[in-house]
Structure 1
Amino acid sequence: MTRDSFDAIVLGVGGMGSAAVSHLAARGVDVLGLERYDIPHGRGSSHGETRIFRLTQPEHPEYVPLARRARELWRELEAETGVDLLTETGSIHAGPADGETVADALESCRAHDLPHELLTESELAERFPAFDLPAGHRAVYQPDGGYLDCERAVTTHVNRAHDHGAVVRARERVRGWEPRESGVRVRTDRDVYEAEHLVVTAGAWAAGQLEVLSDALTPKRRVMIWLRPETPERFAPETFPVFRADVPDGSFYGFPVHERPGFKFGRTPRYAETVDPDDWRDEPTPEDETLLRRLPENHLRGGAGPTMAMETCLVTESTDGHFYLDTHPDYPHVSIAAGFTGHGFKFCSVVGETLADFVTEGDTDNPIGVHRLAGRT
C-alpha cells in the first residue's frame, strides 16, 4: 500500500521542485514530490542541456546576493555528491554603448563590487574571437559566470532527496488541492495525500494550482538551437563565455559547446507566443530556425554551421519580470515559487533552500524582498 500522509508535499519536480525536495529531505522533513511528467522532462524550462549562471544581474541589483548564495549552494551540492554541475566560462552582457543592457549590467556589477571589464566590440573580438558585434557596441565581462548542466542538476537534487528518505513520484498528475483544518489535502489521478505543508513549484501549470496567481503568470514558447561551428576552437568553454547580446537582429543568449556536437543559443523575442501549457506547438519550425540563424550569420564568426538540434521550452513570465517566492497570503503553510520569466534556473539551489526555510522556519533570511507577493498580485 502507498503512503498517504507526509510532513510536506511538493507539486512539480523540475528545477525548483527538485531543489525543494532535496533541501527539505536533508533537514529531516518527510516529503513527497509529485511530477506529472518524467524526471527530468522536456515539457517545461529545466531541460535543453545547459542553463546560464551569472552573478551580473541586470534584471535588478538585488538579485546579486541571491545569485551569490545560489553559487555557494551549487558548489556545496557538487562537493557532497561528487557530480559536476557548474562550469565557469565568464559571462558577457553586450549591446549598444548607450543601451539598457550594458548600463544595467554595469550598475549590477558596481553596486555589488563584482569584478568586471567593459570591452569595446574590438576588444571583445580580440579576447573571444567568435564575437563580431556591430560598431559602437560594448560588452560587460564578468569572470564568475558560466553554465549549469540543467538535467543533471535536477537528477542530482532528486537523488540527494532519495538519499535522505524523500518519496518522489513521476507520471502522477495533480488534479487539485484544498486547505484542511490543519494542513492540506492533495488529489492526483492516482491517489489522495495529506500533509502539514504544501510547496507549489509547478512552472507553467502553477496558475492552475494557485488562484492568487491566476492572472499573474503567462506561459510563453521559446526555441533553442544547436549549431556545429565551422571553427570549433572558437566555441569551446575556454574561449566562448555564456552571453546575452542585443544586436539589430534581436536579443540573443548562448553557450559554448558542452556535450552535444554544437553550441547552443536562443532568442528572446519582444513579443513571445503565449501558449496553453497543455496544448501548444512544441515542435520547432523552419521559421524558428531562420530567425535564430541570423545571429551566427551576422555576429558570430565561424558559427553558422549545420543545425544539430532544436528544442522548445516553456517560459512562464510574471507581471513585472520578477519571480514570485513567498508563502501564500491566506495559507501560511503553502509556499510558492513561480514566474521565473526565463532567467530562473541559476537560482534553483537557493530557491530550494528558501522554500525549505518557509516549511521549517516560517520565513527566510535570504534576500527575497523584490520577490514577495505583497502589492504585486
Structure 2
Amino acid sequence: MVVSMTRDSYDVIVLGVGGMGSSAVYHLAKRGVDVLGIEQYDVPHGRGSSHGDTRIFRLTQPEHPSYVPLAERARTLWRDLEAESGERLLTETGSIRAGPADAAHVSAAIESCASNDLPHEVLSGEELRERFPGYELPDDHRCVYQPNGGFLACERAISTHVNLAHEHGGTVHARERVLGWTPRERGVEVRTNRETYEADRLVVTAGAWAGKHMPLLENALSPQRRVMAWLQPTEPAKFTPDTFPVFNVDVPEGEFYGFPVAERPGFKFGYTPSGADSIDPDDWNDEATLEDEKRLRRLPENHFPAASGPTLRLTTCIVTRSLDGHFYLDTHPEYPHVSIAAGFTGHGFKFASVVGEVLADFATDGDTDNPIGVHRFGNQLRKT
C-alpha cells in the first residue's frame, strides 16, 4: 500500500510563491500559522516578474506620496530579514529619478520626498554627470537624487523568505499547478494537478496569472512582455555600486531603468514602453530578439556611453499592469477570507517584504495598520 505524504488541510493556502507569495508564506509561518504555498514552476523561477538578479529599491515615489511610508516599512523589513538570515539582500547605492525639467513625474518625485521629509537633492543633467560620471543625461534635465535607494537581490530574497518559512514550519509545493478554487461557507477548496486541499483562508499572489484565478481581476490586469539587457562597460569603474546609483529616466529615447554592475557581469537596464499589448502568460515569446536588443541599446549609446560595450545577456520578464497603475492589495469584497495582491505594474518587488506582512495581517487579524488606502479595491473594480 502506498501511503500519501501530502496533507490536505491547512490554515492558509498561498497561490503563487514568487516575490509576494514567498514573503506571505514567511510572515504567516513566523506567526505560527499552518501555511501551504503552491507554485506552478520552480522556487524561484524565470517565467514571471521576480527574476533577473536585481530589482530597484527606491524611497522616491512619484506614483503617490502614500507609497513612501509603505516603502520605508519595506526597507525596515528587508533589513530585519537580512538580520535573521545572515543574507545580504538590499544594497543601497542611491537612486535617480530624471526627466525633462517640466516632466510631471519629476515634480511628483520631488513632492513625494518633500512631503515625507526624505533627504534628497535636485540636480541638473550636468551636475549629475559631475557627481556620477557614468551618467550623460541632457543638461536641462531635472534629476532627483535620494541616497537610500538601491537594489534588491530578488531571487536570493525569494529563496531567503522560503528557507526561513521552512524553519518556522511553513510548507511550499513547487511544480504543482492550481486548477481552480471554490469558496466554502467556512474557508476554501483548492484543486491542483496533484491534490485537492482545504483551508480556512486563501491568499492569491499569482502575478500575471492572478486574473485567471480571480474573476474579480480578469478585466483589471494586463500582463505585458518586457526585456532586460546586460552590457559590458568600457569604463567599469563608473558603474560600480559605489559610483553609480540605480535610475528611472525619461529621455528622448523613452523611459528606462537601470543598475550598476552587480550579481552578474554587466550594466543592467530595461525599457518601459508607453503602450504595450497584453500577453497570455501561458503563451508568449519569452526569447529576446535582435530587435529588442537594438531598441534597448539606444539608451546607453546616447546617455551611458561608457557602458555601451558588447552585449552579455538578454532576458525577458512579465510586467502586470493594473487599471490605474496602483497595485491591488485588499481582501475580496465578497469573500473576506480571501486576500489578493496583484497588478504591481513593474514597480512592486521593492514592496514584497511589506506586502507579505499585509497579507499575513489580513489572514490573522482581518485587516492591517499599514498605509494601503490607495491600493484598496475601489467601487469601479468591485463592479468588474
Same fold, TM exceeding 0.5? yes
Cα drift, residue 135 of structure 1: 2.8
**C-alpha contact 2:54 2:263 (8 A) present in aligned 1:** no
Aligned residue number for residue 234 of structure 2: 230
Gaps of 5+ in 1: none
User: Does the residue aligned with 1:69 lie in a helix, a strand or coil?
Assistant: helix
User: Does the residue aligned with 2:307 lie in a helix, a strand or coil?
Assistant: coil
**C-alpha contact 1:233 1:239 (8 A) present in aligned 2:** yes
Q: 1:146 aligns with which of 137, 145, 150?
A: 150
What TM-score do you get using the length of structure 2 for normalisation?
Answer: 0.97
Cα drift, residue 376 of structure 1: 3.9
Distance in 1 (alpha carbons) for counterparts of 2:137 and 2:39: 42
Distance in 1 (alpha carbons) for counterparts of 2:157 and 2:363: 22
User: Does the residue aligned with 2:355 lie in a helix, a strand or coil?
Assistant: helix
Cα drift, residue 262 of structure 1: 0.3
Q: 2:350 aligns with which of 346, 350, 368?
A: 346
State the identity as a percent. Answer: 70
Distance in 1 (alpha carbons) for counterparts of 2:149 and 2:64: 17
Q: 1:57 aligns with which of 56, 61, 80?
A: 61
Q: 1:14 aligns with which of 15, 18, 39?
A: 18
User: Does the residue aligned with 2:203 lie in a helix, a strand or coil?
Assistant: strand
Equivalent residue letter for 1:199: V
Cα drift, residue 339 of structure 1: 0.3
**C-alpha contact 1:284 1:310 (8 A) present in aligned 2:** yes
Aligned residue number for residue 4 of structure 1: 8
**C-alpha contact 1:222 1:272 (8 A) present in aligned 2:** no
Cα drift, residue 374 of structure 1: 2.6
1:294 aligns with 2:269: no
Cα drift, residue 271 of structure 1: 1.1
Distance in 1 (alpha carbons) for counterparts of 2:91 and 2:185: 47
Cα drift, residue 207 of structure 1: 0.3
Cα drift, residue 10 of structure 1: 0.1
Distance in 1 (alpha carbons) for counterparts of 2:224 and 2:124: 34
Equivalent residue letter for 1:21: V
In the TM superposition, what whole-angstrom CA distance separates every residue of 1:112-132 from its partner, at most 9, and x where no partner exists? 010000001111000000111
Q: 2:203 aligns with which of 199, 203, 219?
A: 199
Distance in 1 (alpha carbons) for counterparts of 2:158 and 2:71: 18
Equivalent residue letter for 2:360: A
Cα drift, residue 136 of structure 1: 1.0
Distance in 2 (alpha carbons) for counterparts of 1:164 and 1:332: 26
Aligned residue number for residue 179 of structure 1: 183
Equivalent residue letter for 2:313: A
Aligned residue number for residue 325 of structure 1: 329
Q: 2:87 aligns with which of 66, 77, 83?
A: 83
Q: 1:374 aligns with which of 352, 374, 378?
A: 378
Q: 1:107 aligns with which of 97, 108, 111?
A: 111
Distance in 1 (alpha carbons) for counterparts of 2:86 and 2:231: 30
Cα drift, residue 181 of structure 1: 2.0
Q: 1:277 aligns with which of 275, 281, 284?
A: 281
Distance in 2 (alpha carbons) for counterparts of 1:272 and 1:46: 20
Distance in 1 (alpha carbons) for counterparts of 2:14 and 2:263: 31
Aligned residue number for residue 169 of structure 2: 165
Cα drift, residue 369 of structure 1: 0.1
Cα drift, residue 148 of structure 1: 0.1
Equivalent residue letter for 2:199: A
**C-alpha contact 1:16 1:351 (8 A) present in aligned 2:** yes
Aligned residue number for residue 210 of structure 1: 214
In the TM superposition, what whole-angstrom CA distance separates every residue of 1:78-124 from its partner, at most 9, and x where no partner exists? 00110000000000001111112311110110110100000011110
Distance in 2 (alpha carbons) for counterparts of 1:242 and 1:123: 16
1:303 aligns with 2:307: yes
1:39 aligns with 2:43: yes
Aligned residue number for residue 129 of structure 1: 133
Distance in 2 (alpha carbons) for counterparts of 1:78 and 1:303: 31
Aligned residue number for residue 93 of structure 1: 97
Distance in 2 (alpha carbons) for counterparts of 1:375 and 1:221: 29
Distance in 1 (alpha carbons) for counterparts of 2:295 and 2:380: 34
Q: 2:265 aligns with which of 256, 261, 266?
A: 261
Equivalent residue letter for 1:301: P
Distance in 2 (alpha carbons) for counterparts of 1:349 and 1:302: 34
In the TM superposition, what whole-angstrom CA distance separates every residue of 1:119-175 from its partner, at most 9, and x where no partner exists? 011110000001111131110000000000000000000001000111100000000
Distance in 1 (alpha carbons) for counterparts of 2:134 and 2:305: 5
**C-alpha contact 1:101 1:246 (8 A) present in aligned 2:** no
**C-alpha contact 2:230 2:268 (8 A) present in aligned 1:** yes
**C-alpha contact 2:326 2:375 (8 A) present in aligned 1:** yes
Cα drift, residue 3 of structure 1: 0.3
User: Does the residue aligned with 1:302 lie in a helix, a strand or coil?
Assistant: helix
- Regions of 4+ moved over 2 Å: none
In the TM superposition, what whole-angstrom CA distance separates every residue of 1:288-340 from its partner, at most 9, and x where no partner exists? 00010001100013111000001100100000000000000000000000000
**C-alpha contact 2:255 2:271 (8 A) present in aligned 1:** yes
User: Does the residue aligned with 1:273 lie in a helix, a strand or coil?
Assistant: coil
Distance in 2 (alpha carbons) for counterparts of 1:261 and 1:25: 36
User: Does the residue aligned with 2:305 lie in a helix, a strand or coil?
Assistant: coil
Distance in 2 (alpha carbons) for counterparts of 1:205 and 1:324: 14
Equivalent residue letter for 1:205: W
Distance in 2 (alpha carbons) for counterparts of 1:300 and 1:263: 10
Cα drift, residue 259 of structure 1: 2.2
Distance in 1 (alpha carbons) for counterparts of 2:312 and 2:144: 30
